[in-house]
Amino acid sequence: MNDFVYAHTDPAELEEYREQVRSWMSENMPRRNHDNPWHPTHDDDAQSSRNRELQRRLYDGGYAAVCYPREYGGQSLTIGHQRIIDEVSMDFDMPLLFSVPTLSITGPTVLEFGTEEQKQRYIPAWIRGDELWVQFMSEPSSGSDMAGALTRADRDGDVFILNGSKIWSTFAQRSDYALLLARTNWEVPKHRGLTMFIVPIHHPGIEIHPIQMVDRTEEFCQEFFNDAIIPAANVVGQVDDGWTVASRLLFHERAAVGGASPYTQGRHRNRSADGLEDLAAMARRNGGTDLGRMRQILGRMETLSRVDRLLSRRVVRGIESGYFPAPAGSLVRLSHGLTQAERQTAAAEFQRDRALVWNPGESTGAYGVDFVQRQQSCIGGGTTEMARNIISERVMGMPREPAADRDLPFNQVPRSG
């Protein structure tokens, strides 16, 4: 059996479901090519098209977004059923572009706060694989202060006029829609004057600029808005109450990044990011006189991995039962980020110079690139520093940090420039 708890579900029913999924996957989903060497992916259009095709296959088979309500295209099943799909699909090519953020971050936010018309229009489309979504939240000038957004949406009758910029948006160039947080009221404190919008990305007045990463891929983007017209019908939640919506989006983001979301689908055994089998094999091949020290590192990684899995299980059950408040998802986010960074550091160390210099066609260079990018897991989905603040203030009940702009109208907050 695996490490996840399948609460409120008959184990025999889950085992029968596992066999159904295994049989269907074998007949309908392409297997991953484990011998294919690592290399950066530049063809965003091909990757997007492939993911849409695979998502449609899952949908047609009844295995797409199974925790979503049946009336919107899901199956109304439990997190236990989704985890079975994740485990069985490890050796198959899966539409991971849809997993995060479409299905696990923006999707649950629309499910909770969208109008019935919005839910009927958008949720079935992304479950079918027709539309990819992204989140437009961070801004160049705000850092981790998301409530300090300067992107503005000025109302003009039945539309809003959007101006400003967002950044670090994952795969925006290949996505179709975004959830965007913009300022709609400058005369109230910053948290009270924000509104969440559904924004079509390839739309007049919106420019997408990809950002090249250290491995030459272009995963993130910056967006510029110049008098982009957004219908008032695209507001999610209430006007000026966007922080309520954004807070839940951030909860779903931390759960997705930390592995505690019921809405993620599919996960691959990445080079150094999942499982310890690869690390152990590296130690046996390359250990030599350092084998004893490598065993110590493996022992630590095994301990951290077990704690990470058990913590995820505990937090998921605690939030579902009401024992933990929703911000407890930051516990999983923090643990997963730190553990991931340590795995990638260990993998690069075990590979020795093969992670620094490699020949064309060899996959060992991936471990070096992972090492250079290891802090991604401590930044994406909210930094580990922010996670610690949330845990201390909202889970442990410690005093909040002082803030000079608290309760001050946003148009009176001093700003550089």
Give how far the C-alpha of residue 17 lies from the chain's centroid of Cα atoms, to the nearest Å. Answer: 26
Q: Which of 84, 111, 130 is the endpoint of a domain?
A: 130
- Tell me the whole-structure pTM to 2 decimals: 0.86
Count the Cβ atoms, other than its own, within 10 Å of residue 242: 31
User: Quick check: helix, strand or coil at residue 97?
Assistant: helix
Tokens representing residue 294 in the block: 């490598």
Query: Could you give the C-alpha distances from 391 to 250, 341, 385, 388, 417, in angstroms and in order?
Result: 14, 20, 10, 5, 33
H helix count then E strand count, the chain: 12, 8
Domain encompassing residue 312: 269-395
CATH of the domain at 382: 1.20.140
In a domain, 31, yes or no: yes
Q: Quick one: pLDDT at residue 49?
A: 92
Q: Is there a domain that residue 224 lies in?
A: no
In a domain, 383, yes or no: yes
CB burial string 23-47: b at 16+ within 10 A, e below: ebbeeebeeeeeeeebeeeeebeee
Domain count, the chain: 2
Q: Where are the beta strands (DSSP E) in 235-369?
A: 235-236
CB neighbour burial string for 91-122, b if at least 16 within 10 angstroms, e if fewer: ebbbbbbbbbbbbbbbbbbbbbbbeeebbeeb
- 367 is a domain residue: yes
Q: Are 178 and 184 in contact (CB under 8 A)?
A: no
Q: Which residues are within 8 A (CB) of 109 and not within 5 positions of it... i.e. 6 or more apart?
A: 179, 196, 236, 245, 248, 249, 252
User: Looking at the domain assignment, is residue 191 inside a domain?
Assistant: no
Q: Return the structure tokens found at 381.
A: 């989905």
The whole-angstrom separation of Cα 390 and Cα 334 is 10
CB atoms within 10 A of CB 407: 10
Question: Does some domain include residue 236?
Answer: no
Cα 144 from Cα 33, distance rounded (Å): 39
**C-alpha torsion sign, points 92, 94, 100, 106:** negative
- Structural domain contains residue 341: yes
Segment-wise mean pLDDT, segments of 10 residues, the chain, 417 residues: 48 94 97 55 73 97 97 94 92 92 96 98 97 95 86 98 95 95 96 97 97 81 98 98 95 83 78 64 86 92 89 85 86 90 90 82 79 84 87 92 86 80
Q: What are phi and psi of 27, to 5 degrees?
A: -90, -20
How buried is 273 (Cβ within 10 angstroms: 0-12 exposed, 13-18 middle, 19+ buried)?
middle
CATH number, position 59: 1.10.540.10
257, part of any domain = no
